[in-house]
Amino acid sequence: MKIAILDDYQNVGLKLANWKSLPGKHEIDVFTDHISDIDPLVRRLYPYDVLCVMRERTPLTAQILERLPNLKLIASTGLGNASIDVEAARSRGIDVMNTGYASTATIEFTLAMLFAVARHIPQESASVRAGGWQERLGSDLNGKVLGILGLGHVGSGVAKIALALGMKVVAWSTNLTKERAEEQGVGYVTREELFRQSDYLSVHLALSDRTRGFVGATDLAMMKSSAYIINTSRGAIFDEVALIRHLEGGKIAGAALDTFESEPLPAEHPFRRLPNVIATPHLGFVSESLYRTFFEDTVSNIKKWLIARVGCAAKQVRLGSAQTAKRA
Q: How far is residue 75's CA from residue 73's CA, in Å, rounded to a whole number? A: 6
Q: Is 234 a catalytic residue?
A: yes
Of the candidates 57, 120, 204, 234, the residue annotated as catalytic is: 234
DSSP characters over 265-278: PPTT-GGGT-TTEE
The total number of residues written for the chain in this structure: 328
- Is 228 buried (19+), middle (13-18) or exposed (0-12) by CB count in 10 A? buried
Of the candidates 108, 124, 263, 296, the residue annotated as catalytic is: 263
Of the candidates 57, 120, 204, 282, the residue annotated as catalytic is: 282
Helices marked H in the chain — which ranges? Answer: 38-45, 62-65, 86-91, 104-119, 121-129, 153-164, 178-183, 191-197, 217-221, 240-248, 288-327
The distance from CA 170 to its chain's CA centroid, rounded to whole angstroms, is: 24
Residue 168's CB: how many other CB atoms inside 10 A? 17
Q: Is 269 a catalytic residue?
A: no
Q: Which residues does 130 contact at the CB level (< 8 Å), separation at least 6?
A: none
DSSP character at residue 229: E
What amino acid positions are annotated as catalytic residues?
234, 263, 282
